[in-house]
Amino acid sequence: MDISILIVDDDKLVVEKLVEGVNWKQLGIAIVLTAYNIRQAKEILEEARVDILLSDIEMPQGSGLELLEWVRNKEIPVECIFLSSYAYFAYAQKAINLKSREYMLKPVSNRELEEALGSIVEILQKKREEQGEGEDKKSAFWERYLLQENYSQSLLEKGYKEGICSPEGKYFLEIIRIFPDSDTKKKKNLVLYHFIIQNVAAEFMEDRHQKLMAVLRESDYEWVLVAEEKGSQEERKMDSCQLKECLEKALHMRVCFYMGVSSSVEELGKSRRNLEQMEQEAVPGNNGMLFEEEWDKKDIAYVSPPWEIWEKEMSASDMIADTQEKILHFLEELWNSNQVTISTLEQFRRELMQMIYRYLNKQDVLITRIFDGREFDEHYESAVATLPDMEIFIRYIFEKLAGFQHQDNRQESVVEQIKHYINDHLKEDLSRKTLAGSVYLSEDYVSKIFMNVTGISIPSYVASCRMQKAQEYLKYSTFSVSKVALEVGYSNFSYFSKTFRDYTGCTPNEYRNRVTKKQG
C-alpha cells in the first residue's frame, strides 16, 4: 500500500517548494497531500489515510502542535515532523511529548529533510511487512479479473484456489460516480478521493457486518465496488442509499450509484456490462440511484417541447421566470413518464440553446456579454449527466437572463455597482467570477468595461481597497496583524505581509509602530 504524507503550512510558496523540491518517489512516498490551515488538515486526516505529517508550528488559524495533539487524542496512527522558524524550547518539548519524530528549524535543505523522511519511511515499511499483504493481494485479483483481463477463467480458478472468492458465493457490483465542481476538478485530488471512498466504504460495510472485497478506481471520477451478498435485495438498496449519503458528506460533492444484481463470480461480467450500458444511456434522478434489476433497455422516442410558444412568451413579457418554470415542469413530466435518457437530454439541451440564441438575437445582445465562456461550458457539458444537472443548467441560464433584463447595463453604472460590492465584501472572495455574477454579466465583459471606465484592472482595484482598509484597522483597532489579514480577505499571512509592504513600503507591524508614535 502506498505511503502518504500531508504537508501543512499557511505559506503556499513553502508548500509548493516542498512538493516540487523533494524527491518523493525515491523516498518511497507515492501520495503527497497539502493543507494551508489546521481546519483543512483535520478534514484530510479524518477522511484519508495519512502516514506522515509534515507541519509548520505557527499558523494564523491554529498551531501545528494543536493539530498533533488533536491527532493523538483521535488515536490516528501518524508519524510527525515539525518545521519551525522558532527555536523555542517550549515548542520542542511539547513536540517531544506528543511523540513527534523530528523538530527541524527553517530553512531546512531538501537533503536534510529527505534524510529525516527516509528514516520514517523505513519504520513504516517494517510495520507493513509485519502486518502482511493479504488485502493487497485480494484487491489485485479483483482489479485484474474485472478491469484488466476480461473475466479470465484461469485467473478465476486461481482466485478459487487461494480462497479469495468462492464458486458457491454470491457477489454484487456497484459503480460509484462522483461529480466534483470545476474548482474541485482543478485541484485534481484523485488520490484523496480514492482514500475517502475506500475508507468510508470499508467502515460502512464493517459496521453492517458485510464483506467488502475491493474498491477499484476505474477512472478519475469512477470506482467499482465489489462485495459479497448478504441480506435481501431491498436491504442492500437501503444500505447503498445510506452509503451514498455517507460518501457525499465526506467528499462534499454529489455521488451517483449504479447498483448491480446479486450473482456468482462468473456472472459478474454480465452485470458489469449492464452497468456500463446503464451509465451510457440511463440518467440518474434526484436520489442519484440506478438499479440494474429495474433498468428498461427499450428505445425512447424524443418528445419535442413547445419552444416557439415559450420563445414568444419570453419576448412579449419581462417575466421570463414563468418560462423557466414551464420548462422545468415539462422536464419533470418527461421524467415521470420514463422518457428521459442521455440522448433525449442532449437533444433537449441543443433545442433549449437554439431558443436562447434566437431570443438574444432579437434583443440585439451577444451571448458572450451575459455568459462567461468557461462557466457556461462547464454547465453545458454537465447538463446531461443527471436530471439535477439539467435542472441546474436551466436555472443558471434563466437566472443570468433575468438579472441582465433588470440590470442598468450602462458601463458607468455597472462599474459603480462593482465598486460598491467590493467595498462591502472585502473579507470575502472577490474573484472575477464573483464580481461578474453580482451584476449578471460575463467575466470578460466586466473586466473590459472596468478597465475602460477606471483605467485600472479589477485585481489592482481590489488589492488597493484591501490595503486601505488594512491601514485603517492597523491605525484605529487593536486587532492583531493576522486578524487584520483575515478581515481584509487574506488567509495567507505571508502573502498579506508581502502585499502590504509592496503597497506601503513597510511591513504591517512597522506601519502600526509609526502610526502609534505619531499619535503619541
Q: What contacts 327, CB < 8 A, 6 or more positions away?
A: 305, 310, 352, 394
Q: How far apart are CA 258 and CA 292, in angstroms?
A: 7
Give the CATH fold of the 3-131 domain: Rossmann fold (3.40.50)
**Which residue has better confidence, 133 or 238?**
238
Q: Rounded mean pLDDT of 284-306? A: 85
- Residue 243: predicted pLDDT: 95
- Strands (DSSP E) along 300-401, which ranges? none
CA dihedral 425, 426, 428, 434 (to 10 degrees): 70
pLDDT at 326: 94
**155-160: average pLDDT:** 90
Confidence grade of residue 400 (pLDDT, cut at 50, 70, 90): confident
pLDDT, one tens digit per residue, over 364-389 is 777 777 887 778 888 898 999 999 99
Distance between terminal CA atoms of the chain?
63
pLDDT > 70? residue 278: yes
> Does the pLDDT of residue 146 top 80, yes or no?
yes
| Whole-number pLDDT of residue 6 | 93
By mean pLDDT, which of 2-16, 123-137, 427-441 is the weakest? Answer: 123-137
Helix H or strand E segment including 64: helix 64-74
Distance separating alpha carbons of residues 175 and 221, to the nearest angstrom = 10
Q: Per the structure block, which three cell numbers stand in for 9?
A: 503550512
Could you tell me which residue, 36 or 493, shows the higher pLDDT? 36
Q: Please give the pLDDT value at position 298.
A: 67
**CATH match for 460-519 among 3.40.50.1370, 1.10.10.60, 2.40.50.100, 3.40.50.880:** 1.10.10.60
Q: For residues 305 and 255, is the Cβ–Cβ distance under 8 A?
A: no
Percent of the chain with pLDDT over 90: 37
Place of cell 467570477: 433
Q: Angle of helix 38-47 relative to helix 64-74, nearest 10 degrees?
A: 20
Q: Which tens digits make up the pLDDT trace of 21-42?
A: 899 988 988 888 999 999 999 9
Task: Indicate the domain borders of the chain.
Answer: 3-131, 134-294, 307-405, 411-455, 460-519
Which residue shows C-alpha cell 454537465? 382
Share of the chain above pLDDT 70, in %: 93
Q: Coil, helix or strand for 101?
A: coil
**Is the distance from CB of 439 to CB of 414 less than 8 angstroms?**
yes
CB 509 within 8 A of CB 475: no
Task: Give the whole-angstrom CA distance, residue 107 versus residue 110.
Answer: 10
Beta bridge partners of 174: 225, 259
Query: How many other CB atoms are found less than 10 A from the CB of residue 356?
Result: 20
Is beta strand 289-291 parallel, antiparallel or unpaired with respect to 254-259? parallel
Is pLDDT of 518 > 70? yes
What are residue 215's phi and psi, to 5 degrees? -125, 115
Asked if 112 and 104 touch (Cβ cutoff 8 Å), the reply is: yes
Q: How far is CA 161 from CA 157, 165, 172, in A?
A: 6, 9, 20
CA distance 514 to 498: 18
Q: Please give the mean pLDDT across all residues of the chain.
A: 86
Q: Are strands 79-84 and 52-56 parallel, antiparallel or unpaired?
A: parallel
Torsion 70-127-196-428 (CA) sign: positive
Give the count of beta carbons closer than 10 Å to the beta carbon of residue 360: 17
**What is each CA distance from 50 to 45, 56, 191, in whole angstroms?**
6, 16, 11
Q: Are 167 and 265 in contact (CB under 8 A)?
A: yes
Q: What local confidence, expressed as pLDDT, does residue 132 receive?
A: 47
Q: Is 67 exposed, middle or buried (0-12, 13-18, 19+ CB in 10 A)?
A: buried
d(CA 363, CA 143): 56
Cell output for 484: 487584520
Say which residues have a Cβ less than 8 Å from residue 480's Cβ, sequence separation at least 6: none
Asked if pLDDT for residue 100 goes beyond 80, the answer is yes
Domain covering 134-294, topology: Alpha-Beta Plaits (3.30.70)
Does 406 or 263 have the greater pLDDT score?
A: 263
3-class secondary-structure state, position 18: helix
Q: What are the φ/ψ torsions at residue 176 (nearest 5 degrees)?
A: -110, 120
Residue with cell 435542472: 391
130 neighbors 201 (Cβ within 8 angstroms) = no
